[in-house]
Amino acid sequence: MKNFVVPAILVVSVVMIGATVSSNDPWPQWGHDARHSGFSPVAGQAPTVMLADIVYDPFVPQAQAESGGDLLAHYQAPLVSGNSVYMEFKTGSYTSCPTPGSWQNGDICGPNAWNSMTWNERRLDWHNGQLETVWTFESDWKPEWNGTFGLAGWEPVFHPVLSHGFLYVPGFGGALWKVNIQTGAAVAWITPFGTTHVQDTFVSSPLTADAQGNIYYNVLKLQDPHLSNPWFASDIKGAWLVKVAPDGGFTMATYKSLVPGAPAADDFNCPGTFFDLTTLPWPPSPSAVAPGFVCGSQRPGVNIAPAVAPDGTIYTISRGHFNSMVAYLVAVNPDLTPKWQASLQNRLTDGCGFLVPIAPPDNPNQPNSCRVGSNLGVDPTTNAPGSGSIIDQASSTPTVLPDGSILVGVTTNYGFARGELFKFSRHGEFLGNYNFGWDSTAAVRAHDGTYSIVLKDNHYGGIGNYCFDPTSPICAPRPNGPYFITQLNANLVPEWQFRDTTTESCQRNPDGSVTCIPNTHPNGFEWCINAPAFDVNGNVYVNSEDGNMYVIDPHGNLVGNIFTNLAIGAAYTPLSLGPDGKIYTQNDGQLFVVGDGSN
């Protein structure tokens, strides 16, 4: 785990994988399309041949050394169009700390020195069975300041988009570059925030393109460049949803205007949590009230791409700068005026007595339990209904479903460091939730007059249900696993679960051979996919920290898999399908392309 914090039977007609159905459909953005559906109308190739293995992030070993072996980075989805794939490549330098991890003490190294790296977008074309570089575009984009504990070392995402024959690339200071896909040359520099004094302004999300060629993205303007201040000691200067038209014209809306009913930035009565460890187990009493906390201004969560429905409605997520529980699903009209806002607060009743057991009277300090006599269903850290939190270490992005409803992945203060998938109607009504493994943009496939949803469903170990004090028996670490990929029906009821049962750690050697050590992971490995893919036949494509890319059929059965390389503590990465069925997956800063070798 990264540090952060009777089922329905699906009956469909299945075309066997390997019988490739090609189309001209590209994969131009996060989640394939503006709805972030993760669905491609092509049939994936059988995963039998490794077609390409390319390193795009040469700094992975240094980054892992700064976080005890975990790779705390967000990477773009490979963008595929025709014979070409567009992918980020890092150059520049990585500033390692003299003592690994000392960036957590404020040293200007590791995640506190991201600016020493350069983010490029490279076009590679298939030629005689090889991916060859055609051009490289060097962007001036830089990620938000880490702020020591603000982003906890999680590198934000750099994510361009293909739209109407151009590549749009995030730039410095909230700007975009419009790039000619034939030559790799910039044809326009779009600067909604001007060209001077913008070192505190950041493109803070993947870019999203709608069918008309409009580009949407989030921008953050941070208050103070000192290491800890931008996230904890100072409110933001501003936050915007930006829309860029195909002709380069742009409109903007502040997040303050998009969430008019949110508490004021200086409101100190926003929901907080219990913090006095001497009062464990929580809640301290059935009538305890958690102390209030300052809200901060409304802003987007880092890494959250706006989604656009077919009717033009834009969906994004807003949160209080200082308070992740003061969060909203926000619907925006095409002219960037607010349509509605749905709070993520106090939506859940699955806390004490459900996800977190209530301790029995004869064992009041039972580990990972709520206090004896606790109110049923409450969040033990607040003694109130559970709330969805939007944290900046995640990349979960809204998905618009075929019936117009919306899915949002959130975290909570309890539930084994897992998350909740919230479902809202197109009018903002809360329709239900499903407890799942955090940091996942759900994929969706329409079929038989309904639809199915697939997501990562890890059960993480190593920490307690709701507290993190290693000296307290209440906060006892939980065991690792199990780890599932889960498919849900339209009512968020599981249709099937596919469990990672790999127990051995395998490593690819320089000569291509594979060496395995048995019984290193008795409960399996985490799924490290944060945006899975569906193909036209309902097959699901996902990658795991065991090093394999898996294909699962519409009934939850394994179709095939291929080993890339072991990736313990790997970055959570998206996956794409090409128009010819090739599979573009990632693992520890490497791009792997998998297929059957037929084309």
Could you give the CA distance from residue 303 to residue 118 in angstroms, rounded to a whole number?
A: 18
| Distance from chain centroid for Cα 520 | 27
Q: What DSSP assignment string belongs to 321-336?
A: SS-TTSEEEEEE-TTS
Residue given tokens 């880490």 in the structure block = 146
How large is the C-alpha radius of gyration of the chain?
A: 23
User: Partners of 239 in the beta sheet?
Assistant: 220
CA-wise closest residue to 531 among 591, 420, 442? 442
Question: How many CB atoms neighbour CB 334 within 10 A?
Answer: 16
pLDDT at 13 over 60: no
Tokens of 572: 């959570």
Please write the tens of the pLDDT for every residue from 525-538: 999 999 999 999 99
Average pLDDT over residues 245-250: 97
Residue 362 pLDDT > 70: yes
Rounded distance between C-alpha atoms, residue 487 and residue 469, angstroms: 34
Q: Which residues pair with 179 in a beta bridge?
A: 167, 186
CB 245 within 8 A of CB 225: no
The pLDDT tens digits for 512-529 are 888 999 999 999 999 999
How sure is the predictor about 228, in pLDDT bands with cuts at 50, 70 and 90? low
Whether residue 16 is predicted with pLDDT greater than 80 in this model: the reply is no
For the cut 50, the answer to whether the pLDDT of residue 151 exceeds it is yes
Phi, psi of 455 (to 5 degrees): -155, 165
- Kindly state the tokens that stand for 60: 């992975």
Which range has the top average pLDDT, 399-403, 571-575, 588-592?
399-403
**Lookup: tokens for 92:** 């520049």
Question: DSSP per residue over 347-386, as a string?
Answer: -B--TBTTTBPBPPTT-TT-TT-BPTTPPTT-BTTTTBSB
Classify 62 as helix, strand or coil. Answer: helix
Element (H, E) at 343: strand 338-343
- Rounded average pLDDT over 411-425: 90
- What distance in Å separates the CA atoms of residue 273 and residue 281, rounded to the nearest whole number? 13
pLDDT at position 409 is 96
User: Rounded CA gap, 352 and 215, in Å?
Assistant: 43
Residue 180 has pLDDT above 70, yes or no: yes
Say how far apart CA 166 and CA 94 lie, in whole Å.
30
CA proximity to 394, closest of 28, 141, 76, 73 = 73
Q: Any idea where the domains of the chain sit in the sequence?
A: 49-595
- Give me the pLDDT at residue 21, please: 37
Say what the pLDDT of residue 266 is. Answer: 95
Express each pLDDT in 22-81 by its tens digit: 457 899 999 999 999 999 999 999 999 999 999 999 999 999 999 999 999 999 999 999
Task: Decide if 381 contacts 468 (C-beta within 8 A).
Answer: no
Quote the pLDDT of residue 567: 80
Both ends of the chain: CA-CA distance in Å?
37
The pLDDT assigned to 22 comes to 41
pLDDT, one tens digit per residue, over 230-243 is 898 899 999 999 99
Per-residue burial over 473-490, b = 16 or more CB atoms within 10 Å of its CB, e = otherwise: ebbeebebbebbbbbbeb
Half-sphere exposure of 260 (CA within 13 A, CB side): 8
Taking the CB of residue 353, how many other CB atoms lie within 10 A of it? 16
What mean pLDDT do residues 126-136 have? 97
**Interatomic CA distance for residues 122 and 136, integer angstroms:** 4
Residue 216 CA to residue 251 CA, distance in Å, equals 10
Q: Please state, in angstroms and as integers, the Cα–Cα distance from residue 207 to each residue in 159, 177, 316, 433, following that order.
A: 6, 12, 12, 27
| Angle of CA points 272, 282, 463, to nearest 5° | 90
Q: What percent of the chain has pLDDT over 70?
A: 95
pLDDT given at position 148: 75
Gap between the Cα atoms of 81 and 99, Å rounded: 43
Token readout for 259 is 């969430």
- Does 413 or 226 have the greater pLDDT score? 413
Phi-psi region of 571 (alpha: psi -120 to 50; beta: other; left: phi over 0): beta
* Per-residue confidence band for 225, with pLDDT thresholds at 50, 70 and 90: low
What are the distances in angstroms from CA 300 to CA 219, 319, 349, 385, 432? Answer: 8, 6, 26, 23, 23
Give residue 227's pLDDT band: very low, low, confident or very high (50, 70, 90).
low
Tokens matching residue 428: 């903002």
Residues in the chain: 599
Name the percent of the chain lying above pLDDT 90. 85
For 251-309, how does the pLDDT look when each residue is reduced to its tens digit (9 = 90+)?
999 999 999 999 999 999 999 999 999 999 999 999 999 999 999 999 999 999 999 99
The CATH code of domain 49-595 reads: 2.130.10.10
CA gap 245, 586 in Å, rounded: 32
**pLDDT over 90 (residue 14):** no
Report how far apart, in Å, the C-alpha atoms of 515 and of each of 502, 504, 518 are. Answer: 14, 10, 10
